[in-house]
Amino acid sequence: MLPEHIEGAVLITKATNQRYFHHLTMAQGAIYLSAGHRVFFSWGRSISPKLPGDPEIREIREEELGREVAALLREESKEYLMVEKELPIQIYQLLLGAGIQNIRIGEGFVEQWRETKTPWEIEQLSEACRITEFAFDKILEVIKPGMTELEVAAKLEYWMRLQGCEEFNKTIVASGIHSAKPHHWPTNKPLEKGDFVTMDYGCTVNGYHSDMTRTIILGRATDRQKLLYETVRVAQEKAREVLREGRSSGEMDGVARRIIDESEFRGCFLHNLGHGIGLDIHEGTGLVQGSKAILTEGMVVSIEPGIYVEGYGGVRIEDIAVVEKSGCSVLENAPRELIEV
Ligand SMILES: [Mn+2]
């Protein structure tokens, strides 16, 4: 598991990086990794390993961490301890206090391992996506003019909770002119007939995030609304069709951006096409304008083009997809045709 160039031992303290190894929902501690050891030093709770291959758990008090790590380093004759750049200062002090002198910072090494998802990780992502789509089906049954953006957000979260998700993403519900803001925060504004309603939301299962956006219309769409919607839908579809291993991040962004920029909505796609996703909602390689990063099998990215017209409204359609050798597997398949309710 440890890259060969790491001859020392590694101490993992960042929460999502720890979770990559111990798979526990409620846990506090730090993980020691070396060629010979995988130990989760846990404090505050009595817990047991969750999956085969998870680290051995040693219950300690937080103050004992330095001493425990120093003892393992001595036992294994390791020359140095590699830590993450986000190492909390109180843990740094515990390490120093235990006489550990040779501490090196490893830049994003666990994040690199996390880029390529295992089949188990893809199962967790898929389950989070299933729950997210379930909530979309439910909201379509009840959404109507007069409901507020906050009520829509609360209902989406309610249905995801009942399906057993762990946490929610920051739920965005943006209606009418608010939909022209990619990151609008839901308010008490009542939905009105003729509004675009953009819902960008998701949840976690075993720590793994879904992320989905759908825009619907209340009542009948005007011709301009249809044109705007259709331009985003085609841009998203095109990007899904061409996503595969070997494409560059920037090339992917360009595929969707070109379609929007060749329409009358030129310049209205205000963000990148997508981000990597996993234990963090934004992680790893995304689909970023101008980026030369190459996509490889097992990466998971969002595909989320949008058009935002200030003072008028906007549309975004988002799914997440696993990059494969000769294509991709889209994990969310809620309807993408314009829905008028
Ligand atoms: Mn997203």
Percent of the chain with pLDDT over 70: 98
Tell me what pLDDT residue 340 has: 97
Q: Is the pLDDT of residue 5 over 70?
A: no
Tell me what pLDDT residue 1 has: 56
As a whole number, the mean pLDDT across the chain is 95
Q: Is the pLDDT of residue 4 over 70?
A: no
96 & 159 share domain: no
Could you tell me if residue 37 is inside a domain?
yes
Could you tell me if residue 4 is inside a domain?
no
Tell me what pLDDT residue 52 has: 85
Could you tell me if residue 288 is inside a domain?
yes
pLDDT (tens digit per residue) in 194-204? 999 999 999 99
Could you tell me if residue 310 is inside a domain?
yes
For residues 290-304, b (16+ Cβ closer than 10 Å) or e, as one string? ebebebeebbbbbbb
Q: Is the pLDDT of residue 144 over 60?
A: yes
Q: What is the Å distance from ligand 1's center to 223 Cα?
A: 28
Question: Region 262-269: what's the mean pLDDT?
Answer: 98
238 & 270 share domain: yes
d(CA 142, CA 138): 7
Q: What is the Å distance from ligand 1's center to 317 Cα?
A: 10
128 & 33 share domain: no
pLDDT (tens digit per residue) in 38-59? 999 999 776 777 788 899 999 9
49 & 32 share domain: yes
CATH number for 177: 3.90.230.10
Q: Is the pLDDT of residue 115 over 80?
A: yes
Q: What is the Å distance from ligand 1's center to 6 Cα?
A: 34
Q: Which two tokens stand for residue 219?
A: 């009542």
Q: Is the pLDDT of residue 2 over 80?
A: no
164 & 302 share domain: yes
Q: What is the Å distance from ligand 1's center to 171 Cα?
A: 11
Q: What is the Å distance from ligand 1's center to 15 Cα?
A: 21
Could you tell me if residue 205 is inside a domain?
yes
Q: What is the Å distance from ligand 1's center to 303 Cα?
A: 8
Could you tell me if residue 3 is inside a domain?
no
123 & 234 share domain: yes
Tell me what pLDDT residue 53 has: 85
Residue of 26 and 176 predicted with greater confidence = 176
Q: Is the pLDDT of residue 82 over 60?
A: yes
Question: Region 114-125: what's the mean pLDDT?
Answer: 97
Q: What is the Å distance from ligand 1's center to 250 Cα?
A: 17
Q: Which ranges constitute the DSSP H helices of the chain?
A: 15-22, 65-75, 89-97, 109-114, 119-142, 149-162, 223-242, 249-261
Q: Is the pLDDT of residue 3 over 80?
A: no
Q: What is the Å distance from ligand 1's center to 203 Cα?
A: 12
pLDDT (tens digit per residue) in 149-187? 999 999 999 999 999 999 999 999 999 999 999 999 999
Count of the separate structural domains present in the chain: 2
Could you tell me if residue 268 is inside a domain?
yes
64 & 78 share domain: yes
61 & 125 share domain: no
The domain boundary, picked from 61, 85, 114, lies at: 114
What domain range is 125 assigned to?
119-330
Q: What is the Å distance from ligand 1's center to 324 Cα?
A: 20
Give the residue from 326, 140, 337 showing the smallest Cα distance to 245.
326
**Dihedral class, residue 311 (left if φ above 0, else alpha if ψ from -120 to 50, else beta):** left
Distances (CA, A) of 218 to 13, 141, 175, 223, 288: 47, 12, 10, 14, 32
Q: Which of 17-26, 177-186, 274-283 has the lowest mean pLDDT?
A: 17-26
76 & 143 share domain: no
Q: Which of 60-69, 107-116, 147-156 has the lowest mean pLDDT?
A: 107-116
Could you tell me if residue 338 is inside a domain?
no
Give the residue from 285, 199, 271 showing the smallest Cα distance to 235.
271
CATH number for 47: 3.40.350.10
Tell me what pLDDT residue 35 has: 87
Q: Is the pLDDT of residue 131 over 80?
A: yes
The domain boundary, picked from 72, 96, 114, lies at: 114
The domain boundary, picked from 52, 81, 114, lies at: 114
176 & 311 share domain: yes
Q: What is the Å distance from ligand 1's center to 302 Cα?
A: 6
176 & 313 share domain: yes
Q: What is the Å distance from ligand 1's center to 189 Cα?
A: 24
Q: Is the pLDDT of residue 341 over 60?
A: yes
Q: What is the Å distance from ligand 1's center to 146 Cα?
A: 27
Q: Which of 50-64, 131-145, 211-225 has the lowest mean pLDDT?
A: 50-64
25 & 50 share domain: yes
